[in-house]
């Protein structure tokens, strides 16, 4: 089978499109024929060696496809079932071995591309709005990086739950996109101080919750935007890690709450994973939310996909599509890697910074 292999960590050219042996599922495992694999920032950290893996390995943390074979003691799925998963390494391949408990059933009316696109980022947005802080009707929420993959979904889901959504973005183009995808107000932080703007928009009252995947560049000022007893949800650090703080600061800012969650702790069982995925698939099927796919690439062009995502110019989801014996197609849009990156945005921070999820 064809797969992307990393034999030495490094730049995008460390991604090698090779023929390797098709793996066999062990007890409790399933072999999935991959139809679409998501590309996420965390993949670039595996590739670069910042997050160590045993070499060689196949990258990729989410995919959708069809069950091809099952190992012993697997009864929940059968060959031919349409499934998807997240948070398991090895998706950049024609076939992947996945623990059965991590798989979710994909309804027939959900295309494989959409299923792959919504697993990691969609479940992140789901747990942030439903579990970490349960958004209620009448709440006001602040979403940083509102035009990013998680941000676009956060804005829509928070709106579904009856909240007013204030988003921050780096450019006017991204502001238009955030408004299109559910934000009620958008602050272009390269032109306006977001703390001042939030206080003006809320008439000095502040917001109930802040969803901050940016970190260092936004964290401390964000604490000033919360209502008394509000919650700061720091779920990433795209601009770098935040400095340690004295817990007394939380008292001074209004007895506010601070949490640093991660997806793994909110998808700890098969029932929890399936419940979150079911909500997402229902919303997609009913057009309650829209998943924006920016671009797709053939699996053979993983180097181009990583070059594109590291330019920090994505506005939606990137996918890799295995060919399964078909003649590879070319990328539909030309990628000019010499183009300058947005000099103001969080997207322009060095690739050595941790991913936002």
Angle, helices 302-310 vs 41-48, to 10°: value is 110
Which of 260, 278, 311 is the last residue in one of the domains? 260
If asked whether residues 255 and 149 sit together in one domain, one would say yes
pTM of this structure? 0.86
- Rg from Cα positions in the chain: 20
Of the pLDDT bands very low, low, confident and very high (cuts 50, 70, 90), residue 326 is low
If asked whether residues 80 and 18 sit together in one domain, one would say yes
Mean pLDDT of 334-346: 31
If asked whether residues 101 and 184 sit together in one domain, one would say no
> Residue 100 falls within a domain, yes or no?
yes
Domain residues for 11?
Answer: 2-119+269-348
If asked whether residues 248 and 277 sit together in one domain, one would say no
> Residue 124 falls within a domain, yes or no?
no
Higher pLDDT, 313 or 188: 188
Which of 240, 260, 280 is the last residue in one of the domains? 260
What's 147's domain CATH number? Answer: 3.40.50.720
Length of the chain, please?
357
pLDDT at 259 over 60: yes
What's 338's domain CATH number? Answer: 3.90.180.10
> Residue 353 falls within a domain, yes or no?
no
If asked whether residues 157 and 237 sit together in one domain, one would say yes
pLDDT at 334: 33
> Residue 279 falls within a domain, yes or no?
yes
If asked whether residues 143 and 254 sit together in one domain, one would say yes
If asked whether residues 101 and 15 sit together in one domain, one would say yes
> Residue 354 falls within a domain, yes or no?
no
Residues 209-233 pLDDT 10s: 999 998 899 999 999 999 999 999 9
Which of 239, 260, 281 is the last residue in one of the domains? 260
Angle, helices 270-285 vs 112-127, to 10°: value is 120
- Rounded CA-CA distance 271/258 in Å is 27
> Residue 356 falls within a domain, yes or no?
no
If asked whether residues 242 and 324 sit together in one domain, one would say no
Q: Is 219 helix (H, G, I), strand (E, B) or coil?
A: helix
If asked whether residues 251 and 285 sit together in one domain, one would say no
Q: Is 97 helix (H, G, I), strand (E, B) or coil?
A: strand
- Rounded CA-CA distance 88/91 in Å is 8
Of the pLDDT bands very low, low, confident and very high (cuts 50, 70, 90), residue 352 is very low
> Residue 132 falls within a domain, yes or no?
no
Tally the domains of the chain.
2
> Residue 151 falls within a domain, yes or no?
yes
If asked whether residues 114 and 219 sit together in one domain, one would say no
């Amino acid at each position: 089978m064809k797969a992307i292999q990393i034999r030495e960590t490094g730049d995008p050219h460390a991604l090698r499109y090779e023929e390797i042996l098709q793996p066999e599922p062990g007890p409790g495992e399933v072999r999935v024929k991959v139809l679409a694999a998501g590309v996420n920032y965390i993949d670039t950290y595996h590739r670069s060696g910042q997050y160590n893996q045993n070499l060689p390995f196949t990258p990729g943390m989410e995919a959708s496809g069809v069950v091809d074979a099952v190992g012993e003691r697997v009864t929940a799925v059968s060959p031919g079932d349409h499934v998807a998963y997240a948070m398991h390494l090895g998706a950049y391949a024609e076939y992947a071995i996945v623990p059965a408990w991590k798989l979710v059933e994909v309804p027939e009316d959900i295309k494989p591309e959409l299923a792959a696109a919504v697993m990691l980022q969609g479940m992140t947005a789901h747990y942030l709005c439903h579990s970490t802080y349960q958004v209620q009707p009448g709440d006001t929420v602040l979403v940083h990086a509102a035009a990013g993959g998680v941000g676009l979904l956060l804005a829509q889901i928070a709106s579904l739950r009856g909240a007013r959504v204030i988003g921050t973005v780096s450019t006017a183009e991204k502001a238009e996109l955030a408004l299109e995808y559910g934000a009620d107000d958008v602050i272009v932080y390269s032109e306006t101080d977001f703390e001042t703007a939030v206080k003006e928009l809320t008439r000095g009252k502040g917001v109930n919750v802040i969803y901050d995947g940016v970190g260092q560049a936004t964290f401390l000022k964000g604490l000033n935007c919360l209502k008394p007893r509000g919650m700061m949800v720091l779920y990433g650090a795209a601009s770098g890690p935040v400095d340690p703080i004295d817990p007394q600061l939380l008292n001074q800012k209004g007895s506010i709450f601070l949490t640093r969650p991660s997806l793994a702790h909110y998808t700890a069982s098969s029932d929890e994973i399936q419940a979150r995925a079911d909500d997402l698939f229902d919303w997609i099927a009913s057009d309650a939310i829209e998943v924006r796919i920016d671009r797709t690439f053939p699996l053979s062009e993983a180097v181009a996909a990583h070059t594109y995502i590291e330019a920090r110019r994505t506005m939606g989801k990137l996918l890799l599509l295995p060919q399964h014996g078909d003649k590879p197609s070319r990328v539909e849009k030309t990628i000019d890697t010499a183009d300058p990156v947005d000099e103001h945005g969080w997207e322009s921070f060095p690739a050595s910074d941790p991913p936002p999820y």
